[in-house]
């Protein structure tokens, strides 16, 4: 979103709105319980003890242990196997993972629940479809099968890495003259429609562009069929078929299950509210009130800030595993969609992309949220957009508040050393959509930005060297939720298209990659008191891996099987 996820696609919701102690007799190497030893004993010792060949705590000391004791979903002790087994009582369950490796459960710091409704859509993306002509062929076939009142709703289109003539109104009319078509790019910032869809949506050449969005027109002023930014999608989404509430809830639960199967115990939604505000929140409240299998937190969209204020929403826990912690704004669009705001034009064009707000408006959004005590995450892909956002943070926020609220720049894609130094001074941290490097690296280097700017894409190592705390994310649905793949992408910086490496100087260590998907991601999400590392007093959120990512070849990391995922010491996924 950020490219895609930023779509705020919730129109589908129209239908409804330690104390630490030392266990007596245990060796000093045993990290003791979150409660005094006598109380642990009185409570019947540990409820569960987990054993494994290697349990990487990812704590400040980056220790590895062999056993973790859990009671009430919290870690009460960890250390050597024999020592922790001393907490075993008559009712203690011992779970032995054998030669497996255990990490803290992965934290996905930037995804979008709004995309759950897209699961049934037609996939015309580059990893399922040969080229743009093949995508048209899929749409033609779907249109032929559409019943009365039906639409062709397509997703994942990506002209930046798919060869062939781009979509426009005329080419979509050719393949589907009678059935309306809405085709969304993978980045979530650009979509394409045919004449039938335009007519149904009631949009004409005289319709003004909506706020922060554009109905793109050709040289003669006629609608081209290209839509830029989510507000331009709304007239079409409002007349498209959408899932019923129960169906949408089931689709979201399927997304959560998929994330758990990838080792995630925590998800952070960067766009709650979308186009229809309260509907997103109603859906999440309903799903999270059940047994979702993950911890969930998120940012509310800035475009509905007044609604959130009227509802009396404040940062903090909404239900047992659902927390609201911030406000999300979008400064620009997608680099691969040519709408990310750049200092210099895209290769072979005079186009620098565009801001979605004026600099003054961005500053006002940040000031309003900051003054109300919300953490702020601002989407900024282009280097010029990052400049504008940093200027706004500097003018609209105070140093103590920035430190406490941990403001973020989402994607922060084309970043230079001067901006890194400025972020460090301001206390702003980046969350990188690292799949940009792997899936789009060659497109950025050879067709969109050129080598110099592409080398600055997701500069993880420079950010760490500059004192920034970083996270890695999928921006689901832009790329799949897959923390091991994200770690591998940051370690290797290999390019899917054509092979090769994009700026090897920005590679990071495996442990830095793990931290960026565990404790540092949790810190960015204001959840590090609860998860992200395995420490006494924290939740027993764990992922069990077939092999140790610290001991395999870097290009094998993403292939490591997930054996199981545990939330609060309870199994939530098992292979």
Cα 519 from Cα 528, distance rounded (Å): 6
The domains spanning 121-237 and 245-530 adopt the same CATH topology: no
Q: Which range (20-29, 201-210, 344-353, 513-522) has the least confidence?
A: 20-29
User: Which CATH architecture fits 121-237?
Assistant: Roll (3.10)
pLDDT tens digits, 81-116? 999 999 999 999 999 999 999 999 999 999 999 889
Indicate whether 43 pLDDT > 90. Answer: no
CA distance 564 to 558: 16
Residue 281: pLDDT band by 50, 70, 90 thresholds? very high
pLDDT higher than threshold 70 for residue 250: yes
Average pLDDT value for residue range 524-550: 98
Q: Which backbone phi and psi does 418 adopt, to 5 degrees?
A: -65, -40
Average pLDDT estimate for 60-89: 96
pLDDT value, residue 276: 66
Confidence (pLDDT) at 291: 87
Over range 243-272, report the average pLDDT.
95
Region 370-394: what's the mean pLDDT?
98
Closest-CA residue to 203 (of 215, 211, 192): 215
For the beta carbon of residue 211, count every other beta carbon within 10 angstroms. 12
Helix or strand or coil: residue 476? strand
The CA angle 174-179-185, to the nearest 5 degrees, is 75
**pLDDT attached to residue 178:** 96
Indicate whether 29 pLDDT > 80. Answer: no
Q: Are 341 and 332 in contact (CB under 8 A)?
A: yes
Mean pLDDT of the chain: 91
pLDDT at 152 over 60: yes
Percent of the chain clearing pLDDT 70 (strictly above): 92
* Nearest alpha carbon to residue 541 among 29, 20, 80, 107: 107
Q: Give the count of beta carbons closer than 10 Å to the beta carbon of residue 23.
A: 24
533 Cβ contact partners less than 8 Å away, ≥ 6 residues apart: 57, 58, 59, 104, 518, 519, 522
pTM: 0.89
Residue 68 near residue 540 (C-beta atoms within 8 A): yes
CB-based contacts of 219-225 (< 8 A; 24+ apart in sequence):
223/169, 223/198, 224/168, 224/169, 225/167, 225/168, 225/169, 225/170, 225/172, 225/192, 225/193, 225/194, 225/195, 225/198
CB atoms within 10 A of CB 309: 12
What architecture is the 245-530 domain classified under in CATH? Alpha-Beta Barrel (3.20)
Structural contact between residues 34 and 76, judged by C-beta atoms closer than 8 angstroms: yes
Specify the pLDDT at position 115. Answer: 87
Residue 38 is predicted with a pLDDT of 37
- DSSP state, residue 406: T
pLDDT above 90 covers a percentage of the chain that reads 86
Cα 163 to Cα 140: distance, rounded to the nearest angstrom:
18
What mean pLDDT comes out for the span 72-82? 97
Contact 107, 481 (CB under 8 A): no
Does pLDDT of 380 surpass 50?
Answer: yes
Q: Can you say whether residue 387 is alpha, beta or left, with left for phi > 0 and alpha for psi between -120 and 50 degrees? A: alpha
The domain limits of the chain are 121-237, 245-530
The pLDDT tens digits of the residues spanning 455-505 come to 999 999 999 999 999 999 999 989 999 999 999 999 999 999 999 999 999
3-state secondary structure of 133: helix
Query: What's the pLDDT at 156?
Result: 95
Q: Are strands 48-56 and 64-71 parallel, antiparallel or unpaired?
A: antiparallel
Flag whether pLDDT at 25 surpasses 80. Answer: no
Question: Across residues 59-84, what is the average pLDDT?
Answer: 96
Answer yes or no: are the C-beta atoms of 237 and 229 closer than 8 Å.
no
CA triplet 178, 183, 187: central angle to 5 degrees? 170
Which residues make beta-bridge pairs with 304?
none
d(CA 33, CA 155): 49
Mean local confidence (pLDDT), 242-257: 93
Is the model's pLDDT at 6 over the cut of 70?
no
Look at residue 275 in the predicted model and tell me its pLDDT: 57
């Amino acid at each position: 979103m950020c490219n895609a996820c930023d779509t705020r696609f919730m129109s589908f919701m129209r239908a409804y709105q330690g104390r630490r102690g030392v266990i007596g007799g245990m060796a000093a190497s045993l990290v003791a319980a979150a409660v005094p030893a006598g109380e642990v004993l009185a409570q019947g010792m540990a409820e569960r003890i987990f054993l494994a060949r290697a349990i990487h705590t990812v704590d400040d000391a980056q220790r590895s242990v062999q056993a973790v004791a859990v009671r009430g979903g919290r870690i009460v002790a960890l250390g050597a196997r024999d020592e922790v087994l001393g907490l075993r009582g008559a009712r203690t369950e011992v779970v032995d993972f054998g030669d497996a490796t255990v990490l803290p459960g992965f934290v996905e710091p930037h995804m979008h629940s709004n995309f759950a409704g897209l699961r049934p859509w037609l996939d015309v993306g580059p990893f399922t479809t040969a080229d743009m002509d093949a995508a048209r062929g899929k749409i033609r076939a779907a249109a032929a099968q559409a019943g009365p009142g039906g639409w062709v709703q397509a997703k994942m289109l990506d002209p930046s890495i798919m060869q062939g003539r781009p979509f426009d109104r005329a080419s979509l009319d050719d393949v589907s003259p009678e059935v309306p078509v809405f085709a969304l790019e993978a980045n979530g910032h650009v979509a394409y429609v045919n004449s039938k869809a335009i007519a149904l949506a009631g949009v004409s050449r005289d319709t003004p562009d909506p706020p922060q969005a554009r109905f793109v027109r050709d040289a003669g002023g006629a609608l081209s069929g290209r839509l830029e930014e989510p507000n331009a999608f709304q007239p079409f989404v409002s007349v498209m078929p959408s899932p019923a509430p129960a169906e949408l809830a089931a689709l979201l639960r399927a997304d959560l299950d998929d994330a758990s199967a990838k080792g995630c115990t925590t998800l952070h939604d960067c766009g709650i509210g979308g186009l229809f505000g309260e509907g997103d929140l109603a859906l999440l409240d309903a799903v999270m009130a059940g047994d979702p299998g993950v911890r969930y937190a998120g940012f509310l969209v800035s475009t509905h800030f007044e609604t959130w204020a009227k509802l009396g929403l404040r940062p903090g826990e909404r239900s047992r595993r659902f927390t609201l912690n911030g406000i999300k704004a979008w400064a620009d669009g997608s680099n691969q969609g040519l709408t990310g705001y750049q200092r210099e034009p895209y290769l072979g064009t005079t186009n620098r992309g565009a801001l979605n707000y004026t600099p003054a408006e961005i500053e006002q959004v940040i000031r309003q949220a900051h003054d109300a005590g919300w953490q702020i995450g601002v989407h900024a892909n282009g280097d010029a957009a990052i400049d504008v956002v940093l200027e706004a943070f500097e003018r609209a926020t105070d140093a103590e508040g920035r430190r406490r609220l941990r403001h973020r720049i989402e994607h922060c894609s084309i970043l230079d050393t001067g901006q890194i130094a400025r972020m460090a001074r301001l206390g702003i941290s980046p969350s990188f959509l690292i799949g940009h490097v792997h899936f789009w690296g060659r497109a950025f280097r050879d067709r969109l930005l050129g080598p110099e700017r592409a080398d600055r894409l997701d500069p993880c190592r420079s950010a760490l060297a500059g004192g920034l705390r970083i996270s890695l994310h999928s921006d689901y649905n832009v790329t799949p939720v897959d923390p091991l793949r994200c770690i591998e992408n940051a370690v290797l910086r290999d390019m899917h298209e054509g092979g090769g490496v994009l700026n090897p100087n920005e590679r990071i260590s495996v442990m830095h990659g793990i931290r960026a998907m565990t404790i540092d991601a949790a810190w960015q999400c204001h959840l590090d008191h609860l998860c992200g590392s395995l420490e006494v007093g924290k939740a027993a959120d764990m992922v069990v891996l077939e092999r140790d990512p610290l001991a395999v070849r870097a290009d094998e990391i993403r292939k490591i099987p997930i054996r199981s995922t545990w939330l609060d010491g309870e199994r939530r996924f098992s292979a």
